Structure 1
Amino acid sequence: MASVLASAAQTAHAAVAGLLSVAQVKPGDTVTAHPLKEGGPTNVIRPTFKGRTVILFVPGAFTGTCHAQVPGYIENAEGFKAKGVNELYVVGVNDAFVMKAWKEQLAPGGTEVKFCADDKGEFASSVGLLFDATPVLGGPRAKRAVVVLKDDKVETVAVEEDPTKVTVTDVKTVLAHLA
């Protein structure tokens, strides 16, 4: 019975990832805020992008490459502000407890970087970054990417071709591309 349920769950995850995924955002596209959870399952936020410059960093919580990469964004928060960025969001297709634990581990003294759970994958799907990661992570997840928004419009989007490497989403590369 357990193997039948596990198989059904895996099939459902793959189907959801396939159905929810839309074309990936591109420069000039408008991004609409979807509900995210920050700090716990009952703290639902809807980020405001209009009139702001925002960096959306979409990693995999506790995955090796992203776990090593996110601290650079935390350490360079002031550098992003100096370039006109109002807010940095780490948005993971994980539950709120995972995102809170990840933030506490990476920034035990706190950080201005917001760690948000996209627990249903709605945001990742809306920007075309949701994919079926069932074989490795047990369900749909987001591709590792950085989206730069200015006034709710996509200025740039960078998606790692090889999720085991950090190239286009490296903090220094993203900072260098900001005006």
Structure 2
Amino acid sequence: MIQQGQSLPSATLSELTAEGMQTHDIPALFANKKVVLFAVPGAFTPTCSESHLPGFVVKADEIKAKGIDMIACVSVNDAFVMQAWGEAQNANQIHMLADGDGSFTQALGLEMDSGKFGGIRSQRYAMVIDNGIVTHLNLEAPKSFEVSSAEAILALL
């Protein structure tokens, strides 16, 4: 599992934007930026849609005022689902990143097998990244939602 002080792994994530499908190289995407990256087990799921993403939507300006250049949400979903979920949640200040095959999540060592829910998914977490280096990692205990919330990250910053 990735630890504080380590570099993010080399991987790609997809994002469907107004300009079309974008494939982002992780080291390039996070280079020379301070980023809050949070992960959810699945788009359009209860805790993710009722609390996790909405918290970052509401607190985006406050988080960015603390020196954060980018807020990104990642899930083991496809880019079309992530884009639709972002639109449904008014997440226009958040990069909705798709880890379609779960390779980024697995490279981080933060995957879980959700069984019938959808197989390999991401654990719920939030991290602060400075120029590609993880400076904080708040990993949730199973079935919990406390340390990865927008409020918890804002307090950390």
Q: How high is the TM-score relative to the length of structure 2?
A: 0.89
Q: How many residues in Structure 1 have an aligned counterpart in Structure 2?
A: 151
- Aligned mates of 1:38, 1:123 — CA distance in 2: 14
Q: Higher Cα Rg: structure 1 or 2?
A: 1
Q: 2:77 aligns with which of 94, 100, 111?
A: 94
Which structure: greater strand fraction?
2
Superposed displacement of residue 162, structure 1:
2.8
Q: Residue 100 and residue 141 in structure 1: after superposition, are their counterparts in 2 closer, same or farther (change >3 A)?
A: same
Secondary structure of 1:167's counterpart equals coil
CA change 1:33–1:83 in 2 (3 A) is farther
Deviations 1:115-168, CA, capped at 9 Å, x for gaps: 011001111111111111123x222100011111112111111111032x3210
Partner of 1:84: 67
Instruction: Name the residue aligned to 1:3.
Output: none
Output the CA distance in 1 between the equivalents of 2:33 and 2:48: 25
Is the Cα contact below 8 Å between 1:92 and 1:142 reproduced in 2?
Answer: yes
Greater shift, 54-63 or 33-42, is seen at: 33-42
1:34 to 11, 24, 33: 11
Q: Give the direction of change, closer, same or farther, for the CA distance of 1:33–1:82 in structure 2 (3 Å limit).
A: farther
Distance in 2, Cα, partners of 1:162 & 1:125: 17
1:43-54 → structure 2 map (5 Å cutoff): 43-47=22-26, 48-54=29-35
> Equivalent residue of 1:76, what SS?
helix
Identity of aligned residues (%): 32
Aligned pairs for 1:1-12 (under 5 A) are none
Equivalent pair of 2:75/2:97 in contact (CA under 8 Å): yes
> Are 1:114 and 2:91 an aligned pair?
no
In the alignment, which of 40, 43, 50 is matched to residue 61 of structure 1? Answer: 43
CA distance in 2, matches of 1:97, 1:159: 26
Relative to the length of structure 1, the TM-score reads 0.79
Q: Secondary structure at the match of 2:53?
A: helix
Q: How does 1:69-80 map onto structure 2 within 5 Å? A: 69-80=52-63
> Quick check: 2:126–2:149 contact (8 Å CA) kept in 1?
no
Is 1:170 matched up with 2:118? no
**CA apart distance, 1:33:** 4.6
Equivalent residues of 1:147, 1:158 under 8 A apart: yes
User: Which blocks of at least 5 consecutive residues in structure 2 are unaligned?
Assistant: none
Q: Which residue of 2 aligns with 1:15?
A: none
